[in-house]
Amino acid sequence: MMWFDGGWGWGWGWGAWLVMAVMMVLVWALIIAGIVALIRYLTGSHRSDPSGPSPSSAEPGWGSRRAEDLLAERFARGEIDEGEYKRRLMLLREHR
């Protein structure tokens, strides 16, 4: 929308400067985000789970094996004792 601004001709006034400033920030943010995404894609750091392969339907029991691995890690760190480890391992293997 344009209006006569009293001697300076037809113009948008100060609102246009604010809109242009916001748009410039958004344009630069999109450019920077695009560059970062491109770099991440090209370097291979775009994977969602860097800890290992995801489970597939060809691997039955993948979840229970992962649970057993986590349980073994907790036992190795000393978070649970041997009795607790054996009890939980037995429960996991029963529910396969």
Low-confidence ranges of the chain (pLDDT < 70): 1-12, 45-64
| Tokens describing residue 35 | 């560059």
- Residue whose structure tokens are 């760190």: 77
Contacts of 40 (CB under 8 A, 6+ apart): 46
pLDDT given at position 57:
45
Report the pLDDT value the prediction gives residue 14, as an integer from 0 to 100: 76
pLDDT at residue 82, rounded to an integer? 93
Euclidean distance between CA atoms 17 and 19, whole angstroms = 5
Q: What is the pLDDT of residue 58?
A: 45
Domain spans of the chain, in order of start = 7-43, 62-94
Residues 6+ apart with CB under 8 A from 94: none
pLDDT at 16: 83
Give the separation between CA 96 and CA 67, rounded to whole angstroms: 11
